[in-house]
């Protein structure tokens, strides 16, 4: 019977760690003052009628700290790439020379930094909520097991204690991700 309890806890741990990884990627997609290919992770390009991630239709490089160059594998897709970047929430106008698309990141103003930090806080809260949802789901499973007679009340309490420790650890990881992003956004 204990293996059922352990499987509930390991599933919760897996869900929580996936939420933390997803949150880290979400925070990486918030642009700071420097260019990074991770900023384009959420952009998809209409490539011959299907939505394809931009990194599958082009090579992404950062030759300078504030310049990102998108070199399409298929030169005919350059206008689709340009449209996808314009439609995204990056707020950057792409420059197209017929061969590559260049994205130049402007210096961040103090006001824009504050807006991006607020956005980072929102995304971090979404990450914390995802971790708590995994905890809630696991707790419901444990309660069902107790009602079904699969585990005792003591086993349930013990499992909930372990579950809370997992939750605290993963919420702390989300908070660490947020702190790193705040530092990155605060650098001038």
pLDDT in tens, 145-179: 989 888 888 988 999 999 999 999 999 999 999 99
Does residue 180 share a domain with residue 128?
Answer: yes
Considering 80, 104, 128, which residue would you say is the last residue of a domain? 104
pLDDT in tens, 138-147: 999 999 998 9
- Check whether 35 has a pLDDT greater than 90: no
- 146 burial type by CB count under 10 A (0-12 exposed, 13-18 middle, 19+ buried): middle
CATH of the domain at 153: 1.10.132.20
- Structure confidence at residue 136 as a pLDDT band (50, 70, 90): very high
Considering 89, 104, 119, which residue would you say is the last residue of a domain? 104
CATH of the domain at 94: 3.30.1360.40
Kindly calculate the radius of gyration of the chain based on its CA atoms and give it in whole angstroms: 22
**HSE toward the beta carbon, residue 59, CA cutoff 13 A:** 9
* pLDDT (average), residues 108-112: 82
pLDDT in tens, 43-93: 889 888 889 998 889 998 888 888 889 999 988 888 899 888 888 877 788
- Check whether 188 has a pLDDT greater than 70: no
Does residue 83 share a domain with residue 150?
Answer: no
Return the pLDDT at 1. 46
User: How far apart, in whole angstroms, are the C-alpha atoms of residue 146 and residue 5?
Assistant: 10
Does residue 116 share a domain with residue 86?
Answer: no
Considering 62, 85, 104, which residue would you say is the last residue of a domain? 104
Does residue 87 share a domain with residue 125?
Answer: no
- Quote the number of domains for the chain: 2
Does residue 143 share a domain with residue 128?
Answer: yes
**How would DSSP label each residue in 48-100?**
TTEEEEGGGTEEEEEEETTEEEEEESSGGGHHHHHHHHHHSSS----EE-SS-
Residue 23, domain extent? 2-28+109-186
- Number of C-beta neighbours around residue 19 at 10 A: 23
Specify the higher pLDDT residue, 130 or 91: 130
User: How far apart, in whole angstroms, are the C-alpha atoms of residue 56 and residue 179?
Assistant: 31
Does residue 90 share a domain with residue 113?
Answer: no
Torsion angles phi and psi, residue 35, rounded to 5:
-80, 145
Specify the higher pLDDT residue, 4 or 169: 169
């Amino acid at each position: 019977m204990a293996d059922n309890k352990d499987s509930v806890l390991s599933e919760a741990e897996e869900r929580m760690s996936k939420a933390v990884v997803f949150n880290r990627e979400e925070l990486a997609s918030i642009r700071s003052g420097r260019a990074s290919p991770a900023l384009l992770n959420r952009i998809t390009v209409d490539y011959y009628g299907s939505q394809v991630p931009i990194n599958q239709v082009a090579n992404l490089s950062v030759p300078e700290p504030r310049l990102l160059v998108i070199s399409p594998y298929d030169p005919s897709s350059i206008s689709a790439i340009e449209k996808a970047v314009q439609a995204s929430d990056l707020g950057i106008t792409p420059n197209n020379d017929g061969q590559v698309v260049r994205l130049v990141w402007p210096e961040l103003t103090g006001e824009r930094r504050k807006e991006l930090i607020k956005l980072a806080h929102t995304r971090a809260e979404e990450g914390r909520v995802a971790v708590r949802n995994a905890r809630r789901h696991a707790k419901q499973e444990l309660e069902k097991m107790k009602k079904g007679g699969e585990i005792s009340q003591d086993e349930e309490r013990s499992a909930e204690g372990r579950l809370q420790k997992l939750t605290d650890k993963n919420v702390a990881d989300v908070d660490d991700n947020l702190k790193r992003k705040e530092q990155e956004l605060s650098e001038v």
